[in-house]
Structure 1
């Protein structure tokens, strides 16, 4: 009987526990949630059926949505960053004075089995009301404009690279092995020869005469490689690809002009920026894809108000231009260098359970700035006897080149954040400074262990 009685008491207490309600504090009482779509947007101002409405994607629909929010006393709105469909809606809601939070889609996922547009917008509204959503990083309008030009220029460069590969293909099919005797098919010698081929020239000696003086191969060797097989269909396709390449190069030049104009406007509006002057860096290599018509060294020095990012070894003009267009002055929004490197997904994602580290891999995902920093880190790995290259080689020796690239890219992100936010000039570490830092780190680790195990000073007096 005592056992039965104890079981009744147990199930009764369990029933009382199951009837308990867990209450959460309301952080945003005047909050709304929007499920962004390509053809319509579902908005929720509460959890009832009458609190959800569907709106179209035209401008008048977006204005009606904003008016509905204001009529119901909404002050803050949360939405997912779905493709590019959110941008017009985001700008409209901000223009009427609403606080808009753009969230990563993985933080707004509903529980399994509940997937409708109505339930999604209500779920976002509930999470935002309870203060469980955090906003994503968004640059200011000036940086956004700069980013548009830079990303469009990158797309043009990728298309140009595609046409270059196709030109190489058709030259190979024509038995014109220009890629064997010329280092760069779209260099000075290569383009001059391709232009003559497209104009109808087939004599190998005459084609070889277009060789530039910097070309290492002789005219006789180039003439041997340019014996074509007479296929007019391939010649027709080569001519089209060459015209597309020339058109893309002209578009890139136009984009560079607009990019320089925008940078000069942004710098010219700030007296504190335009007063800075810096000498040219003749030792920095200029890549063929680097904008030719502007001095990125001077523009970046003025843009970042006297911070010389190109002083870091391995950092190229394209790296600095990517940083200006992707983050810009918005880097001050990150409270620490750790937060900045974590946003770039360059910091290890430590997964710990039961006091044991299960995984410490870098999170998946990438962005243009992360790619630029990894490319810079890869270039640093090829340098000799510099502070960062020595760091790269130490990591590569222990964990391999891929891990060294990630670690060096994170180190670059920390250096850049300190330079831009704390105005700390870059100073390459000497081996002696590294030894001192290593000694300080070991001393700090020993102090933590002494405090952890509550070791007394008299206990440290032991003999080995």
Structure 2
């Protein structure tokens, strides 16, 4: 085939080095939903390209064939979730498996076909031109799957709340205008009484919690509507779906707790930190202690990061930061570092790349929560907001949080907040130093004015 005769060795010339084969025993796999195309070096088999179905027995035959061909390194594209069973099987069989980004290998010269794709992957891998994507250890992968499932359940439960609100609005029950959250204690008590058959607005309003700011009269006014049967049926089903998601969340939290106990490295407990409110939708067990026993440091000491944010980050990255060469590589993987689109010595764009990274999304939410924090990070974020657009400031603050997490996990040191006043004084000293240097270059001297 035309692609099989591709010569990647450049012509000899001044300052050029030949591209050498670094992985002579590499194979390339084009992943599909029903079958996988596999290419090995041409001298290993009479048919160096073969197709295997995606059934488990065929995947076992695929691994046996690769071993018979002397393959030790396998490159495959990240196609949906179809690559996961084959990746896990080959990894368990002792192969070095690299999951490569499909964007990096999609430009194949010639006609597009599955056979050409797997051959192209095999050739690029043999010359060492592909890099594998980051994948945490197997225990962290289990925690990641459970955490993602929990996030999915929370979104499903949120949709059930929206369905409740829709049914109430259709009955002209304006409860959402007087109670901040219909999923809270007061809202749930009232909704369950409605589903049970209570229609007296004053009896329903009496179920409100003492912390609700709205008066009992205002709540009773909002609970006068048209109790149509079809809307009450929709409200009942939405409430049942909400309860069912709550039961599944409790089961998911139990599994997460058990997995965190399997990953723990010590039995010590974290020291007491700042007193903070309980994170919304946080698991019922002591998640802060479990995370501390897993990584040896308390990430929640960083302002803006609560237990759910720490869980989201650690479940995606794990605790072994040696897989990232530096904090800059870690921030780049998260998609939080500035872009480097430079041509002719001119910076064309510094925009961060688009990246659907769950850990980065959690850090962005944590950064946005710093707007009212009376800490050094809060002062840093507010100063960024005064200089640039808020989305850019959120990304920059999330980048700083990522570097702090990397430092804590690599050095094993606790984070200590110096306070807002300390940051402001440091910033003032930097400004004065820069002004003094500029004045010195102009032949002037900066003199402090006497207080009035």
Give 1:280 deviation, angstroms.
Answer: 4.4
What's 2:5 paired with?
Answer: none
Matches within 5 A, 1:97-176: 97-111=94-108, 113-176=110-173
SS at match of 1:167: helix
- 1:317 corresponding residue in structure 2: 307
Whether 1:220 aligns to 2:217 is yes
Counterpart of 1:288? Answer: 280
Match of 2:33 among 28, 38, 44: 38
Q: Which stretch has the larger CA shift, 141-150 or 282-291? A: 282-291
C-alpha contact (below 8 Å) 1:281/1:297 kept by paired residues: no
SS class of match (1:329): coil
CA contact (8 A) 1:202 1:228 kept: no
Between the aligned partners of 1:74 and 1:308, the Cα distance in structure 2 is 43
Quick one: structure 1 residues 266 and 463, their matched pair in 2 at CA, closer, same or farther if it must change by over 3 Å? closer
Q: Pick one of 246, 250, 254 that aligns with 2:251.
A: 254
Offset, 1:350: 0.9
> Residues 124 and 30 (structure 1 numbering): CA distance in 2 closer, same or farther, change over 3 Å?
same
Give the whole-Å Cα distance in 2 for the aligned partners of 1:335 and 1:89.
Answer: 28
Counting only pairs closer than 5 Å after superposition, residues 228-377 of structure 1 correspond to structure 2 as 228-267=225-264, 270=265, 273-274=266-267, 276-281=268-273, 283-292=275-284, 294-305=285-296, 307-377=297-367
Aligned pairs (5 A) from 1:5-154:
21=11, 23-46=18-41, 50-111=47-108, 113-154=110-151
2:449 corresponds to: none
Q: Which runs of 4+ in 1 moved over 4 A?
A: 20-23, 432-443, 460-464
* Distance of 2:66 and 2:128 partners within structure 1: 19
**Structure 1's 189 and 21: CA in aligned 2 closer, same or farther, altered over 3 A?**
same
Q: How far apart are 1:205 and its partner, in Å?
A: 1.7
Structure 2: unaligned runs, 5 residues or longer: 1-9, 13-17, 445-452
| C-alpha spacing 1:439/1:118, structure 2 compared with 1 (3 Å) | farther
On the 8 A contact 1:352/1:359 being kept in 2, the answer is yes
* Structure with greater Cα Rg: 1
Which runs of 5 or more structure 1 residues have no equivalent in the other structure?
1-19, 447-459
Residue in structure 2 matched with residue 422 of structure 1 by the alignment: 411
Shift of 1:183: 1.4
Q: Is the 8 A contact 2:274 2:301 kept in 1?
A: no
How far apart, CA to CA, are the structure 1 residues paired with 2:352 and 2:109? 27
Secondary structure of 1:55 counterpart: strand
Residues 284 and 463 (structure 1), Cα distance of their counterparts in 2 relative to 1, 3 Å cut: closer
Q: Which residue of 2 aligns with 1:5?
A: none
| Partner Cα distance (2:343, 2:405) in 1 | 33
What secondary structure is seen at the aligned counterpart in 2 of 1:300? Answer: helix
Q: Distance in 2 between matches of 1:407 and 1:152?
A: 29
Q: Determine the C-alpha separation between the residues in 2 that align with 1:200 and 1:100.
A: 60
Tell me, in whole angstroms, the C-alpha distance in 1 between the residues paired with 2:329 and 2:76. 23
State how far apart, in whole Å, the 2-side matches of 1:364 and 1:332 are. Answer: 25
- Deviation by residue 1:16-75 (Cα, 9 ceiling, x = unmatched): xxxx84652111111110001100000001369831000011111111111111111111
RMSD between aligned residues:
2.5
Give the whole-Å Cα distance in 1 for the aligned partners of 2:304 and 2:202.
42
Find the counterpart in structure 2 of residue 6 from structure 1. Answer: none
1: distance between equivalents of 2:146 and 2:271? Answer: 26
Task: Output the TM-score relative to the length of structure 1.
Answer: 0.86
Cα deviation code 1:398-452 (max 9, x no counterpart): 2121111010000111111011102233233533555677899999x99xxxxxx
What is the aligned partner in structure 1 of residue 15 from structure 2?
Answer: none
